[in-house]
Amino acid sequence: MNAAPKALRHLAELERAGLTSLDNRTVLERVAAQYAVAITPEMVGLIDPADPRDPIARQFVPDPAELETRPEERADPIGDQTHSPVEGIVHRYADRVLLKLTHVCAVYCRFCFRREMVGPAAKPLTTPELDAALDYIAANPDIWEVVMTGGDPLVLSARRLKQVVSRLAAIAHVKVLRVHSRVPVADPARVTPELVRALKTKGKATYVVLHANHARELTPAARDACSRLIDAGIPMLSQSVLLAGVNDDPQTLASLMRALVECRIKPYYLHHGDLAPGTSHLRTSIECGQDLMRALRGRLSGLCQPTYVLDIPGGHGKSPIGPNYLSRDESGCTWIEDFNGGSHCYMPTSSD
């Protein structure tokens, strides 16, 4: 039996696949030395090497622009470290914590907000560190939800995941387990029946949040992987990042949201690009994101509407930054804009 194709991790492999040029080898070696590179066969197969603006390549293929760091960019753009009481835990909101099980991913996104800390050379949580993280969760009864993230938790073995899930299941006040992952689209074969079983546990609700940014990522294999999770009773949500040249036009974004809903995945968040180093070429303006959300409103089903959010730099949490449809005048009228751009006065009577 032939071994499964491996992810491309070296510039020579990217060159042979036609994804980069030998002419750029020197500058891209500097990029790869600073930020991890890995592109799975599934994602390689979606890239058109002849298209310099290919939206899949733009997400995963290293770019010389990554060497440009703007003054406002920071290594920890959303302030994880500010809210990390013990290694592996981020406790920003009272009722939930992030549990960062690993710093390894199946693919490395060029816009990643944790790009300074993820990669094959990053150290996983040690057994004592994991014990301390789980002890922290057990000692804080306000924690209702644990979000397993990283890195990507689904790169771990089913056995390892089952061990962690079982230990979380023993904590009575934890009611919800949430897994954030790119694996169902990046490496769908990893979503085996054994892995699906490992994520489920009696008495707890398990959710999987898929990271996808373009409808082409939802291949037949990816859809099958998601179906294995959903058919097993694990609801799925999605998170996407608004990216220049990838999904920053109404048609592309609408196609992504519809494709997700067709897969029985509820669009959850559309993230504004974080201020991670070397990512300015992929960020849009907030006004662009607001215009896109206006374009979706009323033209797509409510099932297809994500919440457009900004993770405030410095660790202050997410805030919705979608467009505003209300204004008020001196007469007391509240003007409401409809999805066609028309304005309507809403002036309730006192009985309202």
Catalytic residue numbers, as ranges: 92-93, 96, 105, 109, 112, 114, 274, 311, 318
**Which one-letter amino acid corresponds to residue 178?**
R
Region class of 30: left (phi > 0), else alpha (psi between -120 and 50), else beta: alpha
Per-state percent for the chain, helix, strand, coil, to nearest 5: 35, 20, 45
**Bridge partners for 307 per DSSP:** 269
**Buried/exposed code over 318-342 (b: 16+ C-beta within 10 A; e: otherwise):** beebbeeeeeeeeeeeeeebeeeee
Tell me the three state secondary structure of residue 46: coil
Beta-strand relationship, 307-311 and 318-320: antiparallel
Residue among 87, 77, 138 at smallest CA distance from 113: 77
DSSP state for residue 125 in the 8-state scheme: P
Residue among 114, 64, 69, 77 at smallest CA distance from 277: 69
Residue among 225, 260, 220 at smallest CA distance from 239: 260
Locate the DSSP E strands across the chain.
89-93, 96-100, 145-149, 176-181, 205-211, 236-241, 265-271, 307-311, 318-320, 326-328, 334-337, 343-346
Q: Give the tokens for residue 311.
A: 């993770």
Tell me the three state secondary structure of residue 216: helix
**In contact, 42 and 225? CB cutoff 8 Å:** no
Give the separation between CA 265 and CA 240, rounded to whole angstroms: 12
Give the separation between CA 226 and CA 232, rounded to whole angstroms: 10
